[in-house]
Amino acid sequence: MVTQLAREFGVYVIGTGRAADRQKALDFGAQECVDLDNDALEDVSGVDLVFDVIGGDIQRRSAGVIRAGGTLVTVVGPPEARPADGLAIDFVVESDRTQLGEIVHRVRDGRLRTNIGNIATLDDAVAALNPTERIKGKTIIRVRP
């Protein structure tokens, strides 16, 4: 959804991921995609902002592609890396009814597409959240029958 929201506001998006996920990144709005297994992430430069959902080595390498004064935003915990002369932000989601309502409205009117891979009941939640194989998309736990 971050890619879609960024594109809605005119941002040029470069996605990163594995080769198998390249088309999905492009389908969700990335204009380019860097294959983390086969492409050199370091060939990208001058980026204003990195939105990190992986952390570790990828986060450290991503900090190096950010322009001076740019920003690294991470959702995986306190940042382990900082861009040169820039900001590193630990992004923690705090529920806001109005903002969540806006996201729902955007999904319903087609401005945002979801990436749901599995829907499970509450009784099956532990197994659904600890799959034995890779699940594409997000897992939804249905609380009510």
Classified as helix, coil or strand, 75 is: coil
Whole-angstrom Cα distance, residue 17 to residue 50?
Answer: 13
Residue 140's nearest CA partner among 107, 92, 105, 91 is: 107
Residues in the chain: 145
3-state secondary structure labels for all residues of 3-49: HHHHHHCCCCCEEEECHHHHHHHHHCCCCEEEECCCCCHHHCCCEEE
Classified as helix, coil or strand, 129 is: helix
Predicted pLDDT of residue 14? 96
One digit per residue, pLDDT tens: the chain, 145 residues? Answer: 999 999 999 999 999 999 988 999 999 999 999 999 999 999 999 999 999 999 999 999 999 999 999 999 999 999 999 999 999 999 998 889 999 999 999 999 999 999 999 999 999 999 999 999 888 889 999 998 7
pTM: 0.80
Predicted pLDDT of residue 145? 73
Q: Which residues contact 72 (CB under 8 A, 6 or more apart)?
A: 49, 50, 52, 59, 62, 63, 66, 79, 81, 82, 83, 86, 87, 88, 89
